Chain A
Amino acid sequence: MAQGVSNSNRPAKPPIWNDPVYRALFFQFLVLGGVIALGAYLISNTLDNLARQGIASGFGFLDTTAGFSILMSLIDYSEENTYGRAFFVGLFNTLLVAGIGIFFATIFGFLVGVARLSSNWLLAKMATVYIETLRNIPLLLQIFFWYFGVLRNLPAPRDSAMVMESFFLNNRGLYSPRPVFEDGFALISWAFVAAIVIIIFMAKWAHKRQEKTGQQFHTVYASIGIIIGLPSIAAVIAGFPMSWNYPELTGFNFTGGIVVIPELVSLALALSLYTATFIAEIVRSGIMAVSHGQTEASYALGIKPGVTLRKVVIPQALRVIIPPLTSQYLNLTKNSSLAAAIAYPDLVLVFGGIVLNQTGQAIEVLSITMAVYLTISLLISAFMNWYNNKMALVER
């Protein structure tokens, strides 16, 4: 058939409405126009609604005095501060619970994932039961269970459970002593920083030496020694410039010390237990993805099992594990917004709840809230992409 079509009687250019290039252009204009029209329609409706009823709009409210107090804050905050500052209180609380959740979910998820592959039948089965139970129950239900179910069974402040007269547990939270830093504590901090710097250099030196001579150096033990030793020496020199502030029962509640509120505990607990089930499955499939030949080859080279795990299996498994792990971290961060159901003052509760209600400016407040989550999501995925690329490059 091809021979029949010579260059001379090539078909004429198709009419413009059949030319794929123009069709694509036209279609894109159509879609773009449609999206813009829809956006314009919604925005004009909104502006119309706001103007017609004289509803306040704009972001001026961020500078207004808030007038409400917040249960827990990582930065200084009082009723005299502005809505803008309340926003940051909420944001930091969100980051805190997400950070704690990610930390414990990762550790626990790795443990359970490995346990599920264990040769110990009982351990593997227990890990399976744990995963299959918790991952199939809604997270919100688990949060309620930990908060309303467990909180009810904690003692009142006057009957607190206590350890060594300094740690107290009751239905207002977990209280522990708080270190109070006195003059001269800066020396210890600097010693700590110096220790870290020394360890970094030492690790580099040890690595180089091993590459050159094959001699190993016990970096781990040396590091532990340095990181404990240097600040201790500094503490002795400065004369232990630190004391403890113990929690004390005064009136209704404990004052002083550090308090971890039950809302934070139940939210972080539920988030990490729930997310750990997903991480465990990811870890399991990551480890299973590394072919057994790799381990056997490593043993054949005389490499010890521990080193095999660290240097051969895990680096390869991580490459499989990291992408889905990223999305679990994202999910956990987004799920931390369920704080709104119990009274943990996260971004959604403080800003999307209290501030929204007090100002009535739903559109502005929710836009800011969504923008924050979007930014966090994009940042985490950007970081993980970078890390992923780095891991992938090691391959060759």
Chain B
Amino acid sequence: MRKSVKILSAIAAAAFVSSAANAGTLDDVKAKGFVQCGVSQGLPGFSNPDANGNWTGIDVDLCRAVAAATLGDASKVKYSPLSAKERFTALQSGEVDVLSRNTTWTATRDTALGLNFAGVNYFDGQGFMVRKSLGVKNALELGGASVCTNLGTTTELNVADYFRANKLEYKLVAFEKADEVVAAYDAGRCDVYTTDRSGLAAQRFKLGKPDDHMVLPEVISKEPLGPVVRHGDDQWFDIVKWTLYAMLESEEMGINMGNVDKMKGSDNPGIKRILGVEGDVGKNLGLQPNWAYNIVKQVGNYGESYDRNVGPDTPLMLARGVNNLWNNGGLMYPMPAR
């Protein structure tokens, strides 16, 4: 029986334990040939598996862009679906290379948890969803309501702050999993369902009668959602950060999946730099010169990713709003790639 234990552990070691040298994350990724990306367990528009396990979403696109930049192939991504509870441990312990899981950038997470936020890929805010039949017009009428939400998130703290600041009574019913929150709200356990507004838009389709519900106008918090990496590997931090900037920058310059090959021949020095025809941004990141070309060619620019996953033409129907580029009145401001 000892023998069997040994054999079993050897097999397990061969297939399940991915052991890596103490090198940087980039070298690890190149050595194993894929990016291990932490995503949600299913949030339409952000990271959601279809019935066959193919992942789509704006967070998933970021993972794919990182794979395109580092390995030249956007499909070289493996996804780890993580619960809200597991996500930081998974990143801290090195189980995932990058966490792209609609995670809010907060001071505690950025410092005490040993994490670095590499930017913001979706500016969100917390909102409330209620039944239309309640006749509520704004959040200040919610005194005495039962509120359903996910436990252990920033959402839970924000809602406490909001109701306290407005001196309103409330009962918070906090669930471990998002699906349970939706099921309980749908069953009538709560008057209000609160989470990020993008989440409300996505989860609404899991309700029995989506049209019976409405999102209140108030936005009660800032929820900058972005990709996260570990402390202590600056090169990898830079790569993830500039992957996001490259997607924004290419949108700003009008480069998209369709025209990227043509754009390579452009005279615009900015376009030449980002596509690696000129300058050595790629080299400084430790990547191929055509890193950004691969991103745009295989994943698309930020605007394309947005429209494909959460934009007005998708079921989520989220207007671009603050997530527009800075020169279109939004908050998305890529740093200059030079």
Contact = CB atoms under 8 A, between A and B. Distances in A.
B172 interface: yes
Interface in A144-158: 148, 151-152, 154, 156
Nearest to B133: A156
A175 to B, nearest CB: 13
A118 interface: no
Contact of A251 (B145, B153, B172): B145
Contacts of B88: 360
B114 A357 contact: no
Contacts of A357: 84-85, 151-153
A229 B85 CA distance: 55
Interface string B72-89: 000000000000110011
A143 to B, nearest CB: 12
Contacts of B232: 52-54
A250 B144 contact: yes
A132 interface: no
A69 B172 contact: yes
A117 interface: no
B223 interface: no
Contacts of A253: 144-146, 171, 191
A54 B231 contact: yes
Contacts of B164: 79
B277 interface: no
A349 B151 contact: yes
Interface in A50-81: 50, 52-56, 67-71, 79
Contacts of B176: 340-341, 349, 353
Nearest to A154: B188
B112 A71 contact: no
Given A171-B188, A251-B144, A148 B174 contact: no
Interface stretch (B60-68, B179-187, B266-274, B292-300): B179-187
Nearest to A251: B144
Interface string B131-149: 0001000000011111010
A56 B113 contact: yes
B204 interface: no
B189 interface: yes
B109 to A, nearest CB: 7
A263 B173 CA distance: 10
A49 interface: yes
Nearest to B113: A360
B51 interface: no
Interface string B156-193: 11001100100001111111100010011001110100
A343 interface: yes
A146 B123 CA distance: 39
Question: Secondary structure of the B side of the interface?
Answer: mixed
Contact of A255 (B144, B175, B180): B144
B230 interface: yes
B327 interface: no
Nearest to B94: A49
Contacts of B172: 68-71
Nearest to A360: B113
Contacts of B85: 353, 356-357
Contact of A67 (B145, B157, B184): B157
Nearest to B93: A49
B288 interface: no
* Interface core residue of A152, A154, A263 (most chain B CB under 10 Å): A152
Contacts of A79: 160, 164
Contacts of B142: 252
B114 A54 contact: yes
A358 interface: yes
A148 B173 CA distance: 14
B195 to A, nearest CB: 14
* Interface core residue of B108, B113, B174 (most chain A CB under 10 Å): B174
A95 interface: no
B134 A341 contact: no
* Interface core residue of A49, A53, A70, A255 (most chain B CB under 10 Å): A53
* Pairs of residues from A and B, 4 with the lowest C-beta to C-beta distance, nearest first: A357-B152, A53-B114, A56-B112, A251-B144
19 contacts: A50-B114, A54-B232, A55-B92, A56-B112, A68-B157, A69-B170, A70-B172, A148-B187, A151-B187, A151-B188, A172-B189, A252-B142, A252-B145, A253-B191, A343-B151, A343-B180, A354-B151, A357-B153, A360-B113
Given A54-B111, A356-B85, A360-B109, 8 more contacts: A50-B114, A52-B232, A79-B160, A252-B145, A253-B146, A341-B176, A354-B152, A362-B89
